[in-house]
Structure 1
């Protein structure tokens, strides 16, 4: 059996949106969908069992709500489900080991007001070895996939772009492949964004200042970007690619490009020291501020 798309559900609006997004993605990828709810076990002898019973009841309700949402969105899909004991971050990371893709709500029931991304989502994104997609409750999932034109079960998508944040200095096959595949599955355009900044005066050697003006630098970055993408254009000839090379901060450029888009794809470097796992400043910023679903793809 192919590895499933796994969605974490906890009954929050964000997790229900994530379950629906995951269902549509599973249909696009022709993969099974698996729902997982994580609950905390209470071992105390006096009130532990009632607390556990309440947790099981809440878990079942969250799973039923997610299944109802999925049934309305993708009627032909029949997800499997499970309940596991927490902590949530540890349990979801373990589940991700058998997943093709893990989908989470950007903030769960334990999220604090004003925090757009919860601690569980951040912890999973920083350590997962498979792509993780974060979905907000406000994402209009019903606008992303509709029945296929030929009447088949395979959904087609609207024309919202897939956006790829690309650093040509550290171009990573895993991240680029994920973005091209997402655009190909959705039959939509891939917009590739690379942001560059001129070198600091402090970083230039004697006589280097003003040797290369900004227009020449921009042309060079455009050339680098096109060269990196050419092999992927050849592999995915059906994907229309729009290259955007801008001067400025990557975070600003990606936030602007992601506005109104269907999916933003960014990367996260896997370190050899799990205790120091982190998302990186650009990825950390966009998952907090971008409104569309964000796919964080780990790479070496």
Structure 2
């Protein structure tokens, strides 16, 4: 079966950047490109990847294949720089395997670095400390989270030894941690469960991201 990337053009949304991104990705993957406009049959049944605009996160319907949402950004965003890397949002305790696979494969295909961003938070017992979190406790907790991320990524790093991986542990909400890294990235990759609409974290990320965001179903 022919591999197809679908560019879904919605009304007056920034369709040129959507089609441009989809065309470039189709060339990289050796796939056919199909442009679908509003009012046409969706044509998504055989798509390996769908590309659309990210202007209205609340109106996004997530398909059963990876979806790339292209934001409205200036004509020459930082992500347009040659060699810009891939950012992966990952939960070290329960990594979304399909998203991690997609991120590693994309980084390998492009020959760029992969930054794995893990956003963590203090354990619930921290709220009970009367004078805030001591620095030594914070350091110990952070060291534990760093080790969790390293252990979670080890199987992929062993399979993709040609991909340079930077592990990035952040004490921030996930959307904020990823949006900050999107300023110098070519693509942010996140996983999702089987819901058909974005959750609050994904909606926040789509609002703030400065590069395209790939949403990969489990």
* TM-score bucket of the superposed structures, by smaller chain: 0.7 to 0.9
Query: Which structure 2 residue ranges, 5 or more long, are not aligned?
Result: none
Residue 134, structure 1, aligned to residue 69, structure 2? yes
Identify the structure with the greater helix proportion: 1
Higher RCO (Cα < 8 Å, 6 or more apart): 2
**Equivalent residue for 1:225?**
149
The answer as to 2:211 corresponding to 1:295 is: no
* Structure 1 contact 166–193 (Cα < 8 Å) conserved: yes
Partner of 1:22: 22
TM-superposed CA distance for 1:160, in Å, is 0.7
How many residues align? The count is 213
The structure with the larger Rg is 1
Tell me the CA shift for residue 2 of structure 1.
2.6
Alignment-derived partner of residue 176 in structure 1: 100
Shift, 1:280, TM fit: 2.5
TM-score by length of 2: 0.87
Question: How far off its partner does 1:138 sit?
Answer: 2.4
CA contact (8 A) 2:57 2:198 kept: no
Give per-residue Cα distances to partners, 1:183-207, cap 9 Å, x unaligned: 1111100001001111234887xxx
Q: How does 1:16-95 map to 2 (within 5 A)?
A: 16-39=16-39, 84=40, 91-92=41-42, 95=43
2:147 and 2:105 map into 1 onto residues whose CA distance is: 23
Q: 1:11 to 1:278 in 2, by over 3 A?
A: closer
User: Displacement of 1:139 after TM fit?
Assistant: 5.9
Deviation at 1:97, TM superposition (A): 2.5
CA–CA distance in 2 between the matches of 1:223 and 1:193? 13
Checking the alignment, whether the CA contact within 8 Å between 2:78 and 2:184 is kept in structure 1 is no
Alpha-carbon distance change, 229 to 287 in structure 1, aligned in 2, over 3 angstroms: same
Gaps of 5+ in 1: 40-83, 85-90, 108-116, 146-156, 272-276
Equivalent position SS for 1:162: strand
User: Within the alignment, does 1:265 sit opposite 2:213 as a pair?
Assistant: no
Q: Report the aligned-residue RMSD.
A: 2.5
The answer (yes or no) to whether the contact 1:269–1:279 under 8 Å persists in 2 is no
Assess, with a 3 A threshold, how the Cα gap between structure 1 residues 21 and 199 changes in structure 2: closer, same or farther: same
- The partner residue of 2:165 within 202, 217, 241 is 241
Report the Cα distance in structure 2 between the residues aligned to 1:142 and 1:282, rounded to whole angstroms. Answer: 23
Corresponding residue to 1:99 among 30, 47, 64: 47
Give the CA deviation at 1:16: 1.6
1:33-78 per-residue CA deviation (whole Å, 9 max, x = no partner) reads 1111122xxxxxxxxxxxxxxxxxxxxxxxxxxxxxxxxxxxxxxx
